[in-house]
Amino acid sequence: MLQSKTFVKKTKRGKILKVVREHYLREDIYSGSPLDPECDPASFKLSPDAQRYIVLDTNVALHQMDFLEHAAVTDVVVPAIVLEEVRARNQSVFQRLKALTASDFKRFYVFANENHKDTYVKQDPGESPNDRNDRAIRRAAEWYSQRLPGKPILLLTDDAGNRTKAIEAGVEAMSCAAYARLREDVPELSDLVSAGLATQAEQREVGGGAGPKKKRRVFEDHKPLSEVTAGIKAGRYHQGTLRVSRFNPWEGYIACQSVEQEILLSGRGALNRAMDGDVVAVELLPEEQWRGPSAHLPTQAELDAADASEGEEEVLGEDGGAHIAQVDPGEHYPGVAGAAGGDDTSAARQPTGRVVGIIKRSWRTRGYCGSLQPPRVPGASHGPGTASVLVCPVERRYPFVRITTRQAATLSDKRIVVAIDAWDTDSLYPTGHYVRTLGAIGDKETETEVLLLENDINTAPFTPAVHACVPPLPWALGEAEAADPARADLRHLPVCSVDPPGCKDIDDALHVRRLAGGNLELGVHIADVTHFLKPDTAMDEEAGRRATTVYLVQRRIDMLPKPLTEDICSLRSGVDRLAFSAIWEVTPDAQILSTRFTKSIIRSREALTYAEAQARIDDERLTDDVSCNLREMNRLAKILRARRSERGALSLASPEVKFEIDTETHDPLDVGMYQLRDTNQMVEEMMLLANCSVAEATLGAFPACSLLRRHPTPAPRQFEPLLRAAAAAGFAIDASSSKTLAASLDGAVRASDPYFNKLVRIMATRCMTQAVYFNSGELSVPEYHHYGLAAPLYTHFTSPIRRYADVVVHRVLMAALGLAPLPGSMRDRPRVADTVDNLNVRHKNAQLAGRASVELHTLIFFRGRTVVADARVTRVRANGLLVFVPKYGIEGPVHLDDADRAGKEGVSSSAPAAVDSAPGAVPRFVYDEEKQTVSREDGGVAYTIFDTCAVTISVEETAGNRRVLALRLTDRAQLPDGERMG
């Protein structure tokens, strides 16, 4: 049967068009239930034993996804119109709904109601599309009840009007909350019901003391979208993506093209319910109200006062404990992102604004990790029954979330995941609902789970489809590969690999040999992952999504299945492995004469660790092949390195730490600085050489679709913190180019203080921008530059086992060599852009997760321990210092008033509650920005940047069940001799 759909639409040019589309109605659409005698067995999906079949309404699909995903909600009919509407409204919910319909356990059956001859409904004249769709859903439910008279059909909808009409038509209808109550077998279902507007109204009806009270308005209404877009067009408002401070949910920035500087949004009212990642419209405040970020470290008293004035019973954003040193480019400690400085200096002021509308919410569908806020009255516990509680998120950049739960008592010591549903003007905090429990607070596994979830890292095991792409073990070199003329047999070469100890995924191996003419042949052999990882397979898609292997302190989350990473691809010693080799002919003084790339077969002679390799280089008595080659390679690497520094490559430092892990409990036993050897640099140098050569080769062949990596030159103002700090220490740093910067960093040496130079380099790292992947077609050639390496071209080629970028580069290089066609997806610009964005985001997330894991293990290490350690002042503020503890790689704030009092009381085991000091007793300190010095008014104590000091480190539990490292200044005399540096 044929129906014609006619509608009117407006073209881009503003013309009005009448569009006529065909719409075929079919007879071969079935109910999907075995109870239906006419149903085609191929489309059986619903279980015949289900208590009832649920027909889904669009509003439920859109807002109650967590509820629908619960294992107890099964046998659901999803009318196609619902799927269609969800797709138009929210892509991420659509993906989740699609996953549900694909699942065999959930039994979600998509019923193509729009194409079924009996359930198609035509829009009545004057009927809105929404009403028509509601009617279509009711019609589908009706059809089901006629088709399956023996089975109760339930229309699940949160729209009261729809429910009434359905009941009139003889179909049972219920809201999600009502259905959850009906399912007494699964009490936690109620918690999963989103506290959307409809449900709230219902809760009020149902009664129960926990219903929200009538509250006064806290926030201003958002402007309607039409007004916002008009305002942006007229230049009254500015649009941008909000980034909230990592330390304070009420301070954020947006960068937008219409204003040169970033716009500061400070305070609850100015943020007006916007959260990190939201696209917002901002109105600038008049210039006299502009302000700078605070020069003070936020103290508990201030935050308390701020909270009290808003009349909410909650403690927020305690003064931030110590963190693992964030040597992340571009990241700084609270509120020093901008020009920095004091509140009063007008130079430090920056455009300040307030949010007038939210253009796009970016509430995470995967939810936020947090824990219940304990009741205000100590000792009181959450009673049974439904309770409204606040959830304190793990990440400080998010506000508290109010949820309604029946399991408050059992959840109080758990880490849970909550999703945010709404944020009304009369509510200080967003409302959300419980999603699931992760485990007990403080437990290592739970906290690891938290950090993985917070960084959106997929830890799910690989699907069977992915495993099906892996060749069976034991894998051995096949005939076909050995006979392939394009694959060079390099098994005779003395190849060896050098990696960190315990490394199982060996990506790279090296060789060097003397050629007849006196020149040398240098080879870098990279695991030939793309031989096994073919484009557009399930494994390729999964790897592309994961984008990188994530390394945590005690665990590794692989990008590829284990058999590939640890065996088939890994260039282990003594076995034949496939490789992609880059081979250079170089003169004895490391001048490159020629470069070639080839697929190859290699057999690694030895898999060494950095330490072993170093030992063999140092031991002059060893004259075997591998040792001599290592020595030769080391010599070449040193020349290459010197040449690179000559060009202006920076040598930066980051305080990497290493844990010694107990093999039984997996708890950290000791923390120490990671030792860098010559061999680390040797391998690094070879990899850089390979990467640069590959970048050139791929770009030469495909100027418009090569994947490269660039490192943008930092803006001069990013160097300001470094320049100021160095100036205070009496050094001038010239950051006008990477070359001058490298030279000034080399010059920043204090004879008496060997660690000083490293400290300066760590600071310099923080001024850097982030290096990013990009598609060569998207930028102009000068923008390809890699600042840190002072290389015009750079890419990633050397770790295809653990980075997807390298896989892409391998494929492009294969195409450049004519070994395989360029995958079609590389020519599709928008698709490449998506891939590149994903690579950058995942890369960043993996870094953050790795660091969070280090932080977690540091906390575990310090649990129940109080340690006195040597520290250095890295920043001076009016009421405190930021100090860095090199031994543990910890950086954190210390408050001078604390230190002062601690000095009087005698230190070591300072009480955990030391933060709630009476404001009156604070001694006055004078802050000199120029000299980066803070001194007591009476001239007693003074601290200058780079000063050494001693701190006690201990773990403190703060509000919201966050555990933080607390640092307190101590007398240096307390420092054990072994701990003293410099």
Q: In terms of CB distance, is 110 or 420 closer to other proteins?
A: 110
Q: In terms of CB distance, is 100 or 174 closer to other proteins?
A: 100
Q: In terms of CB distance, is 777 or 850 closer to other proteins?
A: 777
Give the residue carrying structure tokens 């204090």: 750
Name which position in 54, 56, 65, 80 contacts other proteins (CB under 8 A): 80
Query: Does residue number 24 form part of the binding site for other proteins (CB under 8 A)?
Result: yes
Amino acid (one-letter) located at 7: F
Q: In terms of CB distance, is 8 or 483 closer to other proteins?
A: 8
Stretch that binds other proteins, among 24-32, 428-436, 851-859, 870-878 (CB under 8 A): 24-32
| Dihedral sign for Cα atoms in the order 881, 886, 892, 894 | negative
Stretch that binds other proteins, among 77-85, 354-362, 667-675, 798-806 (CB under 8 A): 77-85
Give the residue carrying structure tokens 């401070």: 245
Instruction: Give the burial string for 60-98 (b: 16+ CB within 10 Å, else e).
Output: bbbbbbbbbbbeebbbbbbbbbbbebbeeebeebbebbb
First and final C-alpha spacing in the chain:
87
Q: Least Å distance between CB 929 and other proteins?
A: 57
Name which position in 47, 50, 87, 284 contacts other proteins (CB under 8 A): 87
Query: Does residue number 110 form part of the binding site for other proteins (CB under 8 A)?
Result: yes
Residues between 25 and 44 that touch other proteins (CB under 8 A)? 25-26, 29
Q: In terms of CB distance, is 86 or 733 closer to other proteins?
A: 86
The whole-angstrom separation of Cα 537 and Cα 556 is 23
Q: In terms of CB distance, is 20 or 380 closer to other proteins?
A: 20
Stretch that binds other proteins, among 94-102, 149-157, 608-616, 894-902 (CB under 8 A): 94-102
Name which position in 10, 12, 19, 937 contacts other proteins (CB under 8 A): 19
The whole-angstrom separation of Cα 114 and Cα 81 is 7
Q: In terms of CB distance, is 11 or 663 closer to other proteins?
A: 11
Measured CA distances, 250 to 223, 276, 354, 805 (Å) = 20, 10, 12, 36
C-beta neighbour count of 936 within 10 angstroms: 15
Query: Does residue number 20 form part of the binding site for other proteins (CB under 8 A)?
Result: yes
Distance from CA of residue 38 to its chain's centroid? Answer: 50
Q: In terms of CB distance, is 114 or 956 closer to other proteins?
A: 114
Can you list the alpha helix ranges (DSSP code H) found in 531-579? Answer: 538-546, 562
Distance from CA of residue 463 to its chain's centroid? Answer: 23
For residues 640, 645, 650 and 654, what is the CA-based torsion angle, rounded to 10 degrees?
A: 60
Q: Least Å distance between CB 22 and other proteins?
A: 5
Query: Does residue number 226 form part of the binding site for other proteins (CB under 8 A)?
Result: no
Stretch that binds other proteins, among 17-25, 205-213, 460-468, 782-790 (CB under 8 A): 17-25
What element of type H or E holds 22?
A: strand 16-24
Query: Does residue number 954 form part of the binding site for other proteins (CB under 8 A)?
Result: no
Name which position in 34, 50, 112, 201 contacts other proteins (CB under 8 A): 112
Q: Least Å distance between CB 419 and other proteins?
A: 24
Query: Does residue number 132 form part of the binding site for other proteins (CB under 8 A)?
Result: no
CB-based contacts of 638: which residues, under 8 Å, 6+ apart?
none
Residues between 796 and 825 that touch other proteins (CB under 8 A)? 824
CB-based contacts of 570: which residues, under 8 Å, 6+ apart?
504, 505, 506, 527, 577, 801
Stretch that binds other proteins, among 19-27, 60-68, 240-248, 840-848 (CB under 8 A): 19-27
Q: Which residues pair with 417 in a beta bridge?
A: 369, 436
Name which position in 33, 59, 115, 431 contacts other proteins (CB under 8 A): 115
Query: Does residue number 366 form part of the binding site for other proteins (CB under 8 A)?
Result: no
Measured CA distances, 948 to 752, 890, 943, 971 (Å) = 12, 15, 9, 11
Tally of CA atoms within 13 A in the half-sphere of 385 that contains its CB: 6
Name which position in 85, 114, 685, 855 contacts other proteins (CB under 8 A): 114
Q: Least Å distance between CB 9 and other proteins?
A: 9
Name which position in 10, 12, 14, 15 contacts other proteins (CB under 8 A): 15
C-beta neighbour count of 139 within 10 angstroms: 20
Query: Phi/psi at 554 (nearest 5 deg)?
Result: -110, 5
Residues between 824 and 853 that touch other proteins (CB under 8 A)? 824
- Site residues, other proteins (CB under 8 A): 2, 4, 11, 15, 17-26, 29, 80, 83-84, 87, 98, 101-102, 110, 112, 114-115, 824
